[in-house]
Structure 1
């Protein structure tokens, strides 16, 4: 039902208030309404649009105005009007645009003239990005969504709940926006009337972005410097509008699908700026149509005044349609004084070099004089200018800063307010939806707030008992929360404890940037009849919890290979239903002090010291729910080549004093800042790690005596729209090894299940648990490449489902295990949830094994204590 209720939004009835302005309908010459036509008021710099029925309303103060009516494919029409003290009626009919084709005739064997237009527009894109020093404006956004089709099994249930495609669920907002060069955006939401989930179809990436950028909305812009590698262009015509020549260019992807656009872009002659565009792209399995109309806020600066978006896609058999409309009004711009010049761009492929026309002048001088520049010279100048502008910033590694706030009265606006500010009249279907949602909101409010103690959690509809099973959190006061974790996912089974039950009881106190937490985790093993537990005290401080100190201890069960093993939750299924056991467990009494310190967001230092007494555990049960005659639980002793050959084996008990230090660095990390908090941009820097771990002999009777030094590098790199590369390399060696318990070995993320939780370079697919664990030297490497198109994704219908294809290779070598290889292929994002992999493994003797594995595409997170959660993004 999550997907059925995606569009549940608040609304309220509206009414019209008689004020001064204009209203009417925009149609074509046959009287057919032109939906979402743009109306631009020159005197106010304001934009408005018609609704789906071609109707519009513009509120204006009394006076004289020039209104410009635009619709792609039709001639622009201007109307001089005088507004009095009431609404005036103004209907406008637009003529189809007459394109001049004879001026752009394509001669056989010669280049299509679209290419010289696009070369100049691409060369000038960086100029247009930096043309403004600042601007302010007001943005109105309306989004509507409808469920077009549902799985047949759920249709009757939905009809009973009154959910069908006859209602459009609408959200509206009005924001004040501001921009400062080179990358500071501010948004203040002054009114909003919405609730619900947009199913990741928000047009914010396109409204806040720009087609002058190399990428917008994760797709390659037709004005990207790399555009010719992704697109073909055709000249479809030329026309005049308000004294400007406009080229209509068809944008044709060389390989259709995700992360590229298809459609038409209109480029203004000589200015080489965008006049308007009508594009389509694929995004996460949705088809997204984008229509933007620009207007000359100043003669040199054409800026978008209306955005129209439509997204249609399917999620688990539900077909949704989303429509968004955004209008920008009240532009107040300041041109960049360094770039407030008029100059000519020439295409050096077809025209003489500028030096032959302006001898003795440098490109910078010719720019300042408004003379000719080649495309190459212009691009170089703009790169240098942008680089210098970044250097002048206080934090040059922050490529974009965004500040977002919601006014305290934003949710309190009444219907009269919305009737006054709404630049697009509601359609009848939206009016009905508002009335219905308003009644739902009133019903919800009538039963809310019955308890002074706020409870949040999953009660499965069973009240207190459900909250106990599903986990809950309680607000105890300002900044104070008590919580207990779900019991259903912490009822576990393994061959050493039988069934066990545990929960996390936690308390958190937040004061500004400081957070204190206390967690107790009692655990009862029914098979052993043993009560154990652990506890932790933590203190986080600094912006966004940059630094953390924790003290942890108790008696608890652990896996020998820590986080790099089968999870406790899935081990329960493996034991009871497949009659196998892969997990190996020991118990320890321990006390651990750790600290993490973050420096400038891209350097972190982790140090810890732990004393522990470890206990070997044995199997105590053979219980299964599905019995296989040819299977039996294996011993709890790990099957490791080095352990088998070691004289020590697994002792009954051992004492260990372990100190660790790790440094992690992302030296070239770039960031986006959101309300002052820096957020790293994935893939902008490799992650480098250096780790040292030592067992200290004789400290508190410790027996461990070894030293391990490790180094690693990993990164995810987007290769444009063509794909994504992930790689990881780790290497290490024990500097000395006089005594190391098996828990101290270097373990590797192995897998022997047909279900794998790790993805990409995080884990081996077919490597047996513990077999390669070492206390010697090692080298581990993995690489994965995600193709935009490979085999199945050559078919557009497969791409529409959001499916990705990967190939991967893994490698491991240790002295005792030798060389080990894996290669494979996977389909990712199947049904938006799953990943299917085919893997083959090899060693020094040749072919070793193969397997088909099922994974979760969007992530299953599991804790070391067996907690389990599924996250669908």
Structure 2
């Protein structure tokens, strides 16, 4: 542990120990109901606390006299002078009155605007100033979080799956942390966690993001901020009234999205008159499977600078376990920021707006026209004046769009989280002394129960007995699998079981394919994995085996080395044309054997790394002796008189029957992938890449090397692609992939070396990858020439189904898709489809037509899982 962190923690303990007194009590509203998560702080400072869910608060203070501010969103703040003598605790219970709102006396007609709009113009115009006002700051942050399951199916399979992920069916987790937080413009955060207390599953404890939520940014959680320059295109505002908070007049403004299904905030903003900064906010943000509710309270802490003191974030929604069973959950976070030390930005004054920019900023030309048309006019207003205003609004609109694009393309958030080596060892005295949010009675009971359970779990005798029971080899283990883990041991051993790899194909008949994995943690940064695998086909009466040895290191910039080899069976398409279990069903039930196999003896070396953030490279050298295989099995469950098993050699448009002679091949492969502005976080020394809507570029090169080690292949292959998933304005989500490639030379190209496309000839659509065709035969279009393929899917947020009564409540969404392929031999092939997504929050059905050139070729229905797309953090 660095010395400065040790000294910091020691200093805190000494200072806290000297503050043996303070104030405590309970906050109520006028009816006697407790006020949860209210803010309590010393006026003019950032020294404060927050009440708990029962309204209880506690603020440690040294002896002295203090003006204490009690503040709650929607209530009138109260300031009370309190004197602390010695180490006494002053009991102070207060009732806060709901805000008494006054409205300006105005007459609003059809062509006038709500009084909120002039206020919001000022707040939006000053946004950039407040965004840049502070160059850097440091302070302390206390965060308390709780997650719990609200409802879930009481089925053994669900309970088992939850427990496998460390989730108790009561409290998922309860966590507290204390950190020294540092921020520097534009987006650099550092958190040094000096105290951490976790019960339940710490793996489910999300990284604290509540204190980094900033509504002065144009985008917040991929939604337009109500203070963004183009906010008037996304929100309507209404002044609910104004009230006095000390010397400040506060305006309460209702925020409503213009479009009901848009990803946008809804709730209340409180704006300070004259300064036009945020006083507090109470907003909700809906998402497809959850809703986020956020409250923030600001206060002047240094030189009149208002900073957030209190954050509350509640997320409630559901998740699907095993993609089938719905589990409802609720996460609650309360955070308190204190002891701010600010450095003001010397250039902040250049961000002060002029009166010329204090105007509305529509988001599109239609809104510009509507704004001009609806603007209050007099008889003296001329068309020339209106056109001048329209041009000014258009310029501001373009500026807002530019800033939004720049925000989406901002560099990755530079976040460093360091965990002190003694952070998890803080005793109850530390927490009782520092904790600014008192524990509720259920939380105190939960801690006592969890501490007792933890003490039992850490008992060596108990732990050994539990591990002995868990690691016991049972009678069903050979079929269902087995895993061995021991506390403190670097080894993990897992066996897949014979049943997991059971399958049937016409080449081998019934197949068993068990695998074993041995993993050793060499350190927190390095890991060694050995994975042997066996395979036996009963009809062919042949066995195979292969093994993979991999070494992973440098988790902050992931890299791995691997060696593999053996004699095994593989599909002609190395990406896997069809899942083995699905081929088993279609073969036995429909007499359609789609899988095509060959045998190979091989040796391979791989190296993969991330060069710099967002740039990935993988290099592979592979030698193999390839051998054709013939059908050996005739077994079927249902014998169709109209069908028969087909040959293991597929039919291809370029070469007819795709047979090949046994041969050897030495192939080198290089792939480079680039994700611009990739965002990530580093937690516990490991890099975690965040979702992005930036495009992904990839270039691949393959070289078949003739003459080396008896290799008979001789070709050069090059391809390039770009893929992206992004929200398309307010119309929904779009994802696409465009890929082109060519064999630059093809003196000797065997069918396994062809470029194979991801086809589908079954009812089920299993892959979520964008580069899948819905109706394309598996190997008919495989090529050793040049090609272009393109795939586009769009998931509408609001088209027809959302407008139909009752059906609109089900959140079904239309999906449109186009898949395109061109090769010189096959010509143009196109698929056009429409689908319905999120059927019963689980399924998706597509109706697709295929065309060869302009001629209709076939129609098909495809059933799959719902369209799961991530578009941001």
Are positions 1:409 and 2:413 aligned together? no
Assess, with a 3 A threshold, how the Cα gap between structure 1 residues 420 and 230 changes in structure 2: closer, same or farther: same
1:614 positional shift: 1.5
Distance in 2 between the 1:614 and 1:213 partners?
A: 58
Q: Is the 8 A contact 2:149 2:328 kept in 1?
A: yes
Assess, with a 3 A threshold, how the Cα gap between structure 1 residues 157 and 129 changes in structure 2: closer, same or farther: closer
- Choose 759-768 or 37-46, whichever is displaced more: 37-46
Aligned position for 2:5: none
Are positions 1:574 and 2:578 aligned together? no
Q: 1:424 aligned to 437, 440, 462, which one? A: 437
1:843 positional shift: 2.3
- Choose 426-435 or 706-715, whichever is displaced more: 426-435
1:122 positional shift: 2.4
Assess, with a 3 A threshold, how the Cα gap between structure 1 residues 432 and 515 changes in structure 2: closer, same or farther: closer
Assess, with a 3 A threshold, how the Cα gap between structure 1 residues 71 and 349 changes in structure 2: closer, same or farther: closer
1:752 positional shift: 1.5
TM-score by length of 1: 0.82
1:782 positional shift: 0.6
* Structure 2 residue matching 1:587: 3-state secondary structure: strand
TM-score by length of 2: 0.82
Aligned position for 2:502: 491
Are positions 1:616 and 2:628 aligned together? yes
Aligned position for 2:862: 853
- Choose 207-216 or 100-109, whichever is displaced more: 100-109
Assess, with a 3 A threshold, how the Cα gap between structure 1 residues 90 and 783 changes in structure 2: closer, same or farther: same
Aligned position for 2:666: 657
Compute the RMSD of aligned alpha carbons.
4.3
Assess, with a 3 A threshold, how the Cα gap between structure 1 residues 350 and 219 changes in structure 2: closer, same or farther: closer
- Choose 332-341 or 252-261, whichever is displaced more: 332-341
Aligned position for 1:357: none
Aligned position for 2:384: none
1:251 positional shift: 0.7
* Structure 2 residue matching 1:325: 3-state secondary structure: strand
Give matches, 1:461-610, under 5 Å.
463=474, 466=477, 469-472=480-483, 484-485=495-496, 487-498=498-509, 499-506=511-518, 508=520, 510=522, 517-539=529-551, 544=556, 546-596=558-608, 598-610=610-622
Distance in 1 between the 2:301 and 2:603 partners?
A: 67
Q: 1:669 aligned to 669, 674, 677, which one? A: 677
Q: Is the 8 A contact 1:120 1:345 kept in 2?
A: no
Aligned position for 1:208: 212
Are positions 1:188 and 2:192 aligned together? yes
1:558 positional shift: 0.9
**Which structure has the higher relative contact order (CA within 8 Å, separation 6+)?**
1
Give matches, 1:6-85, under 5 Å.
19-42=20-43, 44-84=45-85, 85=87
Assess, with a 3 A threshold, how the Cα gap between structure 1 residues 828 and 402 changes in structure 2: closer, same or farther: farther
Aligned position for 1:175: 179
Aligned position for 1:8: none
Aligned position for 1:693: 702
1:108 positional shift: 3.6
Distance in 2 between the 1:31 and 1:545 partners?
A: 55
Q: Which runs of 5+ in 1 are unaligned?
A: 1-15, 352-372, 391-395, 861-872
Aligned position for 1:822: 831
Aligned position for 1:133: 135
Aligned position for 1:119: 121
Distance in 2 between the 1:811 and 1:156 partners?
A: 41
1:797 positional shift: 8.8
Assess, with a 3 A threshold, how the Cα gap between structure 1 residues 723 and 657 changes in structure 2: closer, same or farther: same
Q: Is the 8 A contact 1:672 1:680 kept in 2?
A: yes
What per-residue deviation string (whole Å, max 9, x for no partner) do you get for residues 529-562 of structure 1? 2222223444555564655444433221111111
Aligned position for 2:369: none
* Structure 2 residue matching 1:642: 3-state secondary structure: coil
Aligned position for 1:808: 817
Are positions 1:774 and 2:753 aligned together? no
1:758 positional shift: 1.8
1:262 positional shift: 0.6
Distance in 2 between the 1:106 and 1:837 partners?
A: 50
What per-residue deviation string (whole Å, max 9, x for no partner) do you get for residues 467-490 of structure 1? 884353557988665555454432
* Structure 2 residue matching 1:276: 3-state secondary structure: strand
Q: Which runs of 5+ in 2 are unaligned?
A: 1-16, 320-324, 361-391
* Structure 2 residue matching 1:489: 3-state secondary structure: coil
Aligned position for 2:385: none
Distance in 2 between the 1:167 and 1:481 partners?
A: 28
Distance in 2 between the 1:58 and 1:758 partners?
A: 55
1:569 positional shift: 3.8
Q: Is the 8 A contact 1:146 1:169 kept in 2?
A: yes
Distance in 1 between the 2:431 and 2:806 partners?
A: 41
Distance in 2 between the 1:607 and 1:598 partners?
A: 12
Assess, with a 3 A threshold, how the Cα gap between structure 1 residues 341 and 244 changes in structure 2: closer, same or farther: farther
Aligned position for 1:715: 724
Q: Is the 8 A contact 1:219 1:721 kept in 2?
A: no
